[in-house]
Structure 1
């Protein structure tokens, strides 16, 4: 029987440039999520964008959001930073918000501060100078922690990079 933890025990983290602080993601899904974001960003037409399969995220260019008959035919050139939910910051979800789910509450309070955004909710701001202490505290608790700035910034979305 497996024990379920409220959070993953394997984390990837890095310097999230958009909020200029540390951000954390679930290492077991982060690379797949990043591949989904990159696949959508690489689509050249709305038809291609609609076909991008999402396992971890929802497709903001998908048929439930943009129909060909609404002026988005399959052959229309696609630019991810023109998609409404991307422009509004709703997709992909803010990478800096994930720490609130992934990190133990006491470490959130010790190392970060909850900050709000005008449109996209709260995130945990963890100053860059707290990195070594926070990583050490996580490792003491049995977390596997790996730094990957590029991956974290891909997860934060096309506008961030």
Structure 2
């Protein structure tokens, strides 16, 4: 376990394949979010899916989204058939997080805002700017780690292949 200064901002970044650009996320919540996505994807029935505890994300199979009487507890569950997943709203686009995670001057220098039809805007940071932006973040005291698999999991890539 790496020890870090309590005020150090820790970021995970990687190549978001859906957008072919870099994405930046909060390292302190990323692992918990990934565990929630994996747990939901592994649910075999709607009952199991409803019981997945979410602290970082909303549960797209939960009572806020589906009436329990419409989907019996023993009905087989497939995450790729959940409305919010099909429509691309869950999990939220991972590339939007750079708008909160990166300092404004770095957003302006290395990225550009892209507006999507359904999911709002995100920051597109080109892959070829990786070395510069990472060096600049580290110069400012950020702890920065690359993890493409984690970035794409949090973006909902290949959710079906996570199913049990």
TM-score by length of 1: 0.91
Q: What's the Cα RMSD here?
A: 1.7
**1:107 has 2:106 as partner:** yes
**1:88 has 2:69 as partner:** no
**1:30 has 2:30 as partner:** yes
Unaligned runs of 5+ in 1: none
Match of 1:116 in 2: 115
Match of 2:46 in 1: 46
Distance 1:50 1:158 in 2: 21
Moved segments of 4+, more than 2 Å? 158-161
Distance 2:61 2:69 in 1: 14
TM-score by length of 2: 0.90
The C-alpha deviation readout for 1:52-87, integer Å capped at 9, x for no partner, is 0001111010022112322x1111111111111111
The C-alpha deviation readout for 1:99-133, integer Å capped at 9, x for no partner, is 00000001001001100111011000111000000
Number of paired residues? Answer: 155
SS of corresponding position for 2:35? helix
Q: What displacement does 1:88 show?
A: 1.4
1:68-87 correspondence to structure 2 within 5 Å: 68-70=68-70, 72-87=71-86
Distance 1:98 1:154 in 2: 14
Unaligned runs of 5+ in 2: 1-6
Distance 1:87 1:93 in 2: 12
